[in-house]
Amino acid sequence: MGTETFGEALRRLRGNMSLRNAAHLANVGKSYISDLENGRRTPSLAIATALDRALGAEGKLVALVQPPSDHASAPVSPSDEWEEVSELLRRTFLKRGLAAVTLPAIGLEELKHIAAAINDARRYADKAVVAHLECQLADCAANDRTRGPKQSIPIALGLVAAVEDMAKDAKSDTRRPLLQVGARAAEFVGWLYRDIAMPELASYWRDRAMDWAQATRDFPMQGYVLLKKSQAAWDERNAIRMLTLAEAAQEESWHLPLRVQAEAVQQEARGYAMLSGNMTLIEAKLNLARELLTQDDEATGIAAHYNESLFGLQVAICYCEAGKAERAIELYEQWLSPQTFSRRDYGYFLSLKSEAFVAIEKPDKAANHGLKALALARETNSARTHQEILRLVGQLRPWRHMESVRELRHAILA
Quote the pLDDT of residue 88: 52
Q: What is the mean pLDDT of the segment spanning 281-307?
A: 86
Residue-wise pLDDT for 251-268, tens only, equals 999 999 999 999 999 999
For residue 118, what are the CA distances in angstroms to 77, 124, 152? Answer: 24, 8, 22
pLDDT at 269 over 90: yes
pLDDT at 121 over 80: no
Opening angle at CA 92, ends 90 and 93, nearest 5: 75
- CATH superfamily for domain 1-67: lambda repressor-like DNA-binding domains (1.10.260.40)
Residue 304 pLDDT class (50, 70, 90 cuts): confident
pLDDT at 83 over 60: no
Residue-wise pLDDT for 188-221, tens only, equals 999 999 998 899 999 999 999 999 999 999 999 9
Neighbours of 90 (CB within 10 A): 11
Quote the pLDDT of residue 73: 40
Neighbours of 334 (CB within 10 A): 12
Quote the pLDDT of residue 71: 41
pLDDT at 104 over 50: no
What is the DSSP-derived secondary structure letter of residue 118? Answer: H
Q: What is the mean pLDDT of the segment spanning 107-118?
A: 59
Quote the pLDDT of residue 103: 41
Chain centroid offset of residue 326 CA: 29
Non-local CB neighbours of 321 within 8 Å, separated by 6+ positions: 270, 273, 274, 277
> Where in the chain are the domains?
1-67, 77-217
Q: Three-class SS of residue 101?
A: helix
Q: For residues 205 and 250, what is the distance between their CA atoms, to the nearest angstrom?
A: 21
pLDDT at 79 over 60: no
Q: Where are the alpha helices (DSSP H) in 148-257?
A: 149-167, 172-195, 199-215, 219-234, 239-249
| Amino acid found at 80 | D
For residue 205, what are the CA distances in angstroms to 93, 187, 224? Answer: 22, 6, 14
Nearest-10 crossing angle of helices 343-359, 363-380: 160
Run of H or E residues at 404: helix 403-413
> Mean pLDDT highest for which of 120-129, 232-241, 288-297?
232-241
DSSP annotation string for 25-77: HHTS-HHHHHHHHTTSS---HHHHHHHHHHTT-TTHHHHTS--S-SSTTSPP-
Share of the chain above pLDDT 90, in %: 50
Q: Where are the alpha helices (DSSP H) in 89-169?
A: 108-119, 121-124, 127-147, 149-167
Quote the pLDDT of residue 101: 45
Residue-wise pLDDT for 313-355, tens only, equals 999 999 999 999 999 999 999 999 998 898 899 999 999 999 9
- In this structure, is the dihedral angle defined by the CA atoms of residues 102, 107, 108 and 111, taken in order, positive or negative? negative
pLDDT at 280 over 50: yes
Residue 70 pLDDT class (50, 70, 90 cuts): very low
Q: What is the mean pLDDT of the segment spanning 390-412?
A: 95
Q: For residues 206 and 50, what is the distance between their CA atoms, to the nearest angstrom?
A: 28
pTM of the model: 0.74
Chain centroid offset of residue 210 CA: 18
- In this structure, is the dihedral angle defined by the CA atoms of residues 289, 295, 297 and 298, taken in order, positive or negative? negative
**Average pLDDT of the residues of the chain:** 84
For residue 372, what are the CA distances in angstroms to 174, 344, 354, 385? Answer: 47, 12, 10, 11
Opening angle at CA 281, ends 279 and 350, nearest 5: 55
Quote the pLDDT of residue 75: 43
Residue 115 pLDDT class (50, 70, 90 cuts): low
